[in-house]
């Protein structure tokens, strides 16, 4: 709603300025810039496709019927509707880098001019003739291309401002709750370091708009990657959250092998540290493959990012609270905070990178998905409640599940852990909290744990009796053991494949570096979402 008002105001201003000022300026060249088109492009790039289409249609209709307009009514509406829609489509793919967004805006504005000329010629508008197109089109394209970054910047600023206003008026309860959670997380020994984790956690929590953030509109920010972490926590764009979400997981993941330092709280988040787990690394955990880049691309994972964060903290905190005085391991866990650190602090963790590193994959904030089906994101009370479910079970064994929510895939983390690191003889009690990594498939909500818990637990238990072979690897060194699952036995030598669930063409072109309205990156095929 706020965005709609903002769009209307922006378009009105652009339209009137276009007609009364810009068109009257004696600019060199036959054509001139088209402010309305540029604003439509910018709004489209900061919103959803439907919003872009509606915005473009309204803007075009306004330009059609505003007084000096002499084209057929509907021409501009048609063109701008298409352009707005395309920009909305491309906003998902181009939100990875500001440069790409700017290039998209330039291309879209040029395409808009060309499309209008084409439609004018197609409907044989008497004013749009070949000679005038030859004269007007190049210069207006040049003007638009030159001006589009500036208009884009201004519109983005305005959108951000409007969203910030919306943020201020967010429900106070949710804000307080998440802020409290975040603060307790930050202060309770999580201490991801001021740079990456805690600050952003606090910021995100203070803002309290996590549910709003999780919305697909707010979750998109073309200049997200450029925004420095920790600064500007008021911005509603989730790129901050995404990066911050990936950050603690990173540390935790990578922390597996080097948990020789058990003082997890003292360890700051190392900025600029490469993701530990990468496809080529060859270690078992490596298949998790830099989720910092890939995971944040989808709205579900964004939502998970915030909620997973909170869950993260709550789980760690809960474990710490419940077991703090019980055992040393539990105390270590309590100190380390997130569940991953609980594993890390286990004895033998440093010596077993395969065991500690792989489940570490779920240490990424986005991957903890307690309840994907809750629509509102993490700020919704349902998720908070889901988080609360995990807490009163202090003696659960934590098993981290990796991969998509196939039936058996949780076993990857779980069984491996159980077989190696968390042997059943460790005496930890009844039910594992399974942290699941991956897409929002069937097993979502396993962190909250109760619904899927028994089934998964059974599955995991079965897997625990088998040999816990690392299922992710980049080389074919591990012999084929059909460890898990009837359907998809592990084939020897098969490499883990990384694919987006639904990848855009841009992602296809760039090999996944750019683009990515894809959902969570999965390991395995896109159909099964599982490892093969």
19 is a contact residue toward other proteins (CB under 8 A): yes
- Give me the 498-527 binding string for other proteins, x by CB under 8 A, dash otherwise: ----x--------------x----------
Tokens 């498939």 — which residue?
Answer: 441
Q: Alpha-carbon distance 54 to 250, whole Å?
A: 40
73 is a contact residue toward other proteins (CB under 8 A): yes
Q: Are 409 and 487 in contact (CB under 8 A)?
A: no
| Tokens coding 221 | 């920010």
135 is a contact residue toward other proteins (CB under 8 A): yes
Cβ nearer to other proteins, comparing 137 with 195: 137
Q: How many residues contact other proteins, by CB under 8 A?
A: 68
Q: Alpha-carbon distance 159 to 93, whole Å?
A: 19
225 is a contact residue toward other proteins (CB under 8 A): no
Pick from 6, 10, 38, 85 the residue near other proteins by CB under 8 A: 85
69 is a contact residue toward other proteins (CB under 8 A): yes
Alpha carbon of 103 to those of 90, 145, 152, 344: distances in Å? 11, 9, 11, 44
Burial of 423 (0-12, 13-18, 19+ CB in 10 A): middle
Report H helices in 287-409: 291-294, 299-323, 328-336, 339-344, 353-357, 381-390
Least distance to other proteins, CB of residue 19, Å: 4
Q: Alpha-carbon distance 526 to 503, whole Å?
A: 10
Q: Alpha-carbon distance 446 to 438, whole Å?
A: 12
65 is a contact residue toward other proteins (CB under 8 A): yes
Exposure of 217 in the CB half-sphere (CA atoms within 13 A)? 20
271 is a contact residue toward other proteins (CB under 8 A): no
Q: Which residues, in sequence order, are CB contacts of 319 under 8 Å at separation 6+?
A: 330, 333, 334, 339, 342, 394, 398
Q: Alpha-carbon distance 19 to 521, whole Å?
A: 47
Least distance to other proteins, CB of residue 51, Å: 9
Restricting to residues 285-304, which ones interact with other proteins according to CB under 8 A? 299
Q: Are 174 and 210 in contact (CB under 8 A)?
A: yes
Least distance to other proteins, CB of residue 57, Å: 4
432 is a contact residue toward other proteins (CB under 8 A): no
Span from 19-27, 156-164, 416-424, 456-464 in contact with other proteins (CB under 8 A): 19-27
127 is a contact residue toward other proteins (CB under 8 A): yes
Span from 101-109, 124-132, 234-242, 330-338 in contact with other proteins (CB under 8 A): 124-132
Span from 86-94, 150-158, 172-180, 189-197 in contact with other proteins (CB under 8 A): 86-94
Total residue length of the chain: 532
88 is a contact residue toward other proteins (CB under 8 A): yes
The alpha carbon torsion through 347, 350, 356, 357 (nearest 10 deg) reads 170
118 is a contact residue toward other proteins (CB under 8 A): no
Restricting to residues 24-63, which ones interact with other proteins according to CB under 8 A? 24-26, 28-31, 34, 48-50, 53-54, 57, 60-63
Q: Alpha-carbon distance 261 to 46, whole Å?
A: 44
Exposure of 340 in the CB half-sphere (CA atoms within 13 A)? 39
Span from 82-90, 202-210, 309-317, 414-422 in contact with other proteins (CB under 8 A): 82-90
Cβ nearer to other proteins, comparing 49 with 188: 49
10 is a contact residue toward other proteins (CB under 8 A): no
Cβ nearer to other proteins, comparing 23 with 528: 23
Q: Are 164 and 183 in contact (CB under 8 A)?
A: no
Q: Which residues, in sequence order, are CB contacts of 198 under 8 Å at separation 6+?
A: 185, 186, 190, 191, 192
Alpha carbon of 239 to those of 64, 134, 225, 359: distances in Å? 37, 42, 6, 25
Q: Alpha-carbon distance 505 to 154, whole Å?
A: 28
18 is a contact residue toward other proteins (CB under 8 A): yes
Tokens 């955990």 — which residue?
Answer: 285
Span from 135-143, 199-207, 320-328, 473-481 in contact with other proteins (CB under 8 A): 135-143
Cβ nearer to other proteins, comparing 62 with 485: 62
123 is a contact residue toward other proteins (CB under 8 A): yes
Pick from 6, 64, 333, 524 the residue near other proteins by CB under 8 A: 64
Pick from 8, 107, 114, 129 the residue near other proteins by CB under 8 A: 129
Pick from 132, 395, 495, 525 the residue near other proteins by CB under 8 A: 132
Binding stretches for other proteins (CB under 8 A): 12, 15-21, 23-26, 28-31, 34, 48-50, 53-54, 57, 60-75, 77-78, 81-82, 85, 88-89, 91-92, 116-117, 120, 123, 125-129, 131-133, 135-136, 140, 216, 220, 299, 502, 517
């Amino acid at each position: 709603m706020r965005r709609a008002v903002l769009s209307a105001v922006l378009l009105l201003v652009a339209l009137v300025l276009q007609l009364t000022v810009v068109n009257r300026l004696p600019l060199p060249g036959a054509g001139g810039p088209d402010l309305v088109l540029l604003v439509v492009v910018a709004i489209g790039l900061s919103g959803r496709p439907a919003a872009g289409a509606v915005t473009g249609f309204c803007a075009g209709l306004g330009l059609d019927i505003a007084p000096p307009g002499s084209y057929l009514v509907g021409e501009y509406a048609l063109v701008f509707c298409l352009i707005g829609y395309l920009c909305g489509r491309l906003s998902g793919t181009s939100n990875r880098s500001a440069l790409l967004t700017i290039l998209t805006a330039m291309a879209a504005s040029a395409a808009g001019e060309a499309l209008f000329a084409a439609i004018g010629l197609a409907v044989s508008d008497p004013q749009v003739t070949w000679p005038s197109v030859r004269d007007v089109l190049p210069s207006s394209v040049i003007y638009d291309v030159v001006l589009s970054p500036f208009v884009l910047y201004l519109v983005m600023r305005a959108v951000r401002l409007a969203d910030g206003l919306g943020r201020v008026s967010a429900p106070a309860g949710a804000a307080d709750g998440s802020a409290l959670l975040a603060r307790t997380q930050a202060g309770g020994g999580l201490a991801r370091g001021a740079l990456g984790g805690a600050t952003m956690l606090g910021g995100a929590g203070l803002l309290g708009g996590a549910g709003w953030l999780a919305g697909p509109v707010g979750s998109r920010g073309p200049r997200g990657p450029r925004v420095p972490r920790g600064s500007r926590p008021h911005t509603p764009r989730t790129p901050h959250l995404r990066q911050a979400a990936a950050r603690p997981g990173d540390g935790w993941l990578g922390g597996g092998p080097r948990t020789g330092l058990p003082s997890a709280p003292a360890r700051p988040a190392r900025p600029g540290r490469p993701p530990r787990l990468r496809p080529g690394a060859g270690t078992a955990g490596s298949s998790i493959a830099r989720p910092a880049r890939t995971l944040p691309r989808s709205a579900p994972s964004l939502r998970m990012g915030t909620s997973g964060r909170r869950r993260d903290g709550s789980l760690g905190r809960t474990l710490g609270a419940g077991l703090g005085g019980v055992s040393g391991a539990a105390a270590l866990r309590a100190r380390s905070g997130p569940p991953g650190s609980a594993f890390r602090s286990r004895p033998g963790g440093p010596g077993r990178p395969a065991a500690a590193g792989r489940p570490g994959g779920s240490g990424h904030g986005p991957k903890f998905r307690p309840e994907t089906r809750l629509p509102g994101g993490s700020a919704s009370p349902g998720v908070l409640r889901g988080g609360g479910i995990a807490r009163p079970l202090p003696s659960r064994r934590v098993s981290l599940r990796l991969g998509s929510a196939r039936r058996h895939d949780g076993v990857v983390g779980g069984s491996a852990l159980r077989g190696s690191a968390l042997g059943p003889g460790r005496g930890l009690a009844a039910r594992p909290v399974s942290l699941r990594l991956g897409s929002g498939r069937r097993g979502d909500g396993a962190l909250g744990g109760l619904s899927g818990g028994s089934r998964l637990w059974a599955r995991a238990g079965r897997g625990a009796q088998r040999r816990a072979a690392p299922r992710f690897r980049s080389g074919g060194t591990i012999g084929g053991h059909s460890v898990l699952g009837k359907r998809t036995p592990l084939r020897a030598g098969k490499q883990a494949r990384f694919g987006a669930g639904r990848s855009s063409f841009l992602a296809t072109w760039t090999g996944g570096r750019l683009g990515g309205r894809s959902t969570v990156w999965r390991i395995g095929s896109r159909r099964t979402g599982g490892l093969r």
